[in-house]
């Protein structure tokens, strides 16, 4: 006999489905509260950022241009480092070859 078909001390069988519905509603309510808490935190962060912009904070477009410029410079410097490392490897190979040749 399944638990749904078992009588429970004078409790109507419909109460089982009511209990399941209440459990689902409670789970949905908890999930909604969590989503609301995350959304409220994001709203506070965005409001703070907006207040900073209104208060004469740094210009976001200028910051973006500067970041792009720095990223470009970083790529160029990384390429120079890679080229230098390759030259050092070649020099080491020549040095090893000359040392063996002696």
Q: What is the 3-state secondary structure (H, E, C) of 54-74?
A: HCCCCCHHHHHHHHHHHHHHH
Rounded to 5 degrees, φ, ψ at 65 are -60, -40
DSSP-assigned letter for residue 67? H
**Mind listing the pLDDT tens digit for each residue in 25-37?**
999 999 999 999 9
**Mind listing the pLDDT tens digit for each residue in 57-83?**
777 788 899 999 999 999 999 999 999
- Cut 0.75: pTM above it: no
Whether the predicted pLDDT of 7 surpasses 60? no
Q: What percent of the chain has pLDDT over 70?
A: 92
Q: What is the pLDDT of residue 1?
A: 45
Q: What is the pLDDT of residue 95?
A: 93
């Amino acid at each position: 006999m399944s638990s749904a078909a078992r009588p429970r001390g004078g409790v109507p069988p419909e109460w089982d489905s009511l209990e399941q519905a209440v459990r689902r509603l409670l789970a949905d309510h908890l999930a909604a509260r969590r989503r609301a808490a995350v959304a409220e935190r994001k709203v506070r962060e965005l409001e703070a950022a907006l207040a900073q912009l209104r208060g004469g904070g740094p210009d976001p477009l200028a910051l973006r241009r500067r970041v792009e410029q720095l990223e470009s410079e970083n790529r160029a410097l990384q390429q120079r480092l890679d080229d230098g490392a390759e030259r050092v490897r070649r020099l080491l190979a020549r040095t090893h070859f000359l040392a063996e040749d002696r």
